[in-house]
Amino acid sequence: MNQWSADLFTGAAADRADMAAILAHALREQAAGRGELCDLLGLEPAALEALVARWCPGLTLPALAPPGPLPIEQSDLATLLLWRGGRTSDEARWLAAILARRALEASHLWEDLGLPSRAHLGRLIERHFPRLHAANTRNMRWKRFFYRQICTDHGGTMCLAPNCEACAEQPLCFGPDAD
């Protein structure tokens, strides 16, 4: 891969591909009866329409219903992402809401977003929340890292992500931390 093609997948093109994957995943979930699109993404209809206009022009959205009330941890996660993330752009606000909402799901965050790999999620976070990405010095799983940050901010020492107890990969996340 030459430098030009490597650069192509680190900026706007990478954002476009990631947003398309996230939207496609949420649309599949909606079609499967898992909820309304705005609830699945944690976005108000106007924000979702703006995101689509910017990153996926031409995509036709179904009728949008406003999301229901936010669970407290979803609000806490979105606040963490924006406060610690280092960005205040529209994309950062949209992504903070989406990441916070999808972090409440049962699988790894990258899977719950519909991204092809954990590395894709890491690069997305690095582009839009660089300070938060830099703070993850031990390369923790992102859900675990987010919840640990919130727990630490509130004086705790070890808090689990919402679905860790049922995860088959719990030993990978909660074994000894690598140096």
pLDDT at 7: 43
Distance of CA 72 to the CA centre of its chain: 17
Amino acid at site 166: A
Cα of first residue to Cα of last residue in the chain, in angstroms, is 31
Q: What are phi and psi of 87, to 5 degrees?
A: -135, 150
The tens digit of pLDDT for each residue in 126-149 reads 999 999 999 999 889 999 898 888
Amino acid at 96: A
Question: Three-state DSSP class for 22?
Answer: helix
Residue in 21, 35, 45 with CA at minimum distance from that of residue 104: 35
SS3 at position 63:
coil
Res. 43 pLDDT band, cuts 50 70 90 = very high
- How many whole angstroms separate alpha carbon 9 and alpha carbon 28? 25
Q: Where do the domains of the chain lie?
A: 3-174
pLDDT score recorded for residue 147: 85
How confident is the model over 74-125, as pLDDT tens digits?
888 898 888 877 667 888 899 999 999 999 999 999 999 999 999 999 999 9
